[in-house]
Amino acid sequence: MSKSPIEDIVAANLDHYRLNTDYKHGMHFTALPTAFVTGFDKTAQLRIGSTTAWVTDTLGATASYLEFKGDGLSTFERALDRVERLLAVLGSRLLESQKRVSESAEALAIRQAGESSIIAGISTSVTASMNDVLRWVYWWHSTEAAPEDVTAGHISYELNTDFEASLMSATEIQALVAAWQSGAISRDTLLHNFRTGEILPPARTNEQEIELIRKEPPPPNVTVMPQPAGV
């Protein structure tokens, strides 16, 4: 069985939980100063506050506070910082999409596809699990005979699996518009490319976009480009 891509994060998170528990346990016993005295009557009740005074006739008697000193809790603090930095690194690797200077466009695309496939696989697994849970809940509140009768038509849940910014450049937009104006591609193809390039909202249909274009007057001082014949 292959190793889960979040296994290292889970292990680091458990380590962080244990360290934090030990740290809070130590703080509970050492954070508050504790009063102590020597040379006082053991049966006397000594109260702390500005309205009381501790008095004794014993020579050499002392009164002070015990306070935590040393490197004990600092060790936990440093360990917690290290684990938190590790968690940040492990988490960022799942979403890393930085371009390296020495990479070609093709190599960059291959690397990003591999990195995105990890987090996309996690999203797919979560989607499948959530659909199972939600369909069970739906079945409990419905009249369906069995859980298997609840399909995607009744309830469906899907996490986003697009973790890369794939916005089109100005040059690509100009090239697509030029291809459409010359009749090399259809308007549907043009709008489809704009949608996959994250220029158009993903939920907006081509018909809705065309209707919005028709209703909106062109900006002032802008010449409306001719459309291909038959469009």
Residues 178-226 pLDDT 10s: 999 999 999 999 998 888 887 888 888 989 988 888 888 776 665 555 5
Question: Within the chain, where are the H helices?
Answer: 7-30, 72-95, 105-140, 170-181, 187-196, 206-215
The predicted pLDDT at position 50 comes to 83
Q: Look at residue 18 and tell me whether its pLDDT is greater than 90.
A: yes
Q: Look at residue 114 and tell me whether its pLDDT is greater than 70.
A: no
* Mean pLDDT of the 33-57 span: 87
Look up the pTM and report it.
Answer: 0.41
**Angle, vertex CA 152, rays to CA 146 and CA 155, nearest 5:** 85
pLDDT band (50, 70, 90) for residue 115: low
Q: What are phi and psi of 202, to 5 degrees?
A: -65, -25
Cα Dmax for the chain:
112
Q: Hey, what are 16's tokens?
A: 């962080």
Long-range contacts: 22-31, Cβ < 8 Å, 24+?
22/76, 23/73, 23/76, 23/77, 23/80, 26/72, 26/73, 26/76, 27/73, 30/68, 30/72, 30/73, 31/68
**Angle, vertex CA 151, rays to CA 130 and CA 147, nearest 5:** 75
The per-residue b/e assignment along 132-154, b for 16 or more CB within 10 angstroms, e otherwise, is eeebeeebeeeeeeeeeebeeee
* Mean pLDDT of the 54-70 span: 86
pLDDT band (50, 70, 90) for residue 43: confident
Q: Look at residue 122 and tell me whether its pLDDT is greater than 70.
A: yes
Between 183 and 231, residue with greater pLDDT = 183
Q: Which of 54-68, 94-108, 184-198 has the lowest mean pLDDT?
A: 94-108
Between 208 and 72, residue with greater pLDDT = 208
With tokens 């501790």, the residue in question is 54
Query: Nearest CA to 120 among 64, 176, 162?
Result: 162
Report the distance separating Cα 205 and Cα 218, nearest Å. Answer: 21
The predicted pLDDT at position 99 comes to 46
State what percent of residues in the chain have pLDDT above 90. Answer: 17
Other beta carbons within 10 Å of 63: 13
**Angle, vertex CA 208, rays to CA 207 and CA 211, nearest 5:** 85
The predicted pLDDT at position 186 comes to 92
The predicted pLDDT at position 179 comes to 92
The predicted pLDDT at position 58 comes to 87
Question: Residues in the chain, how many?
Answer: 231
Between 70 and 215, residue with greater pLDDT = 215
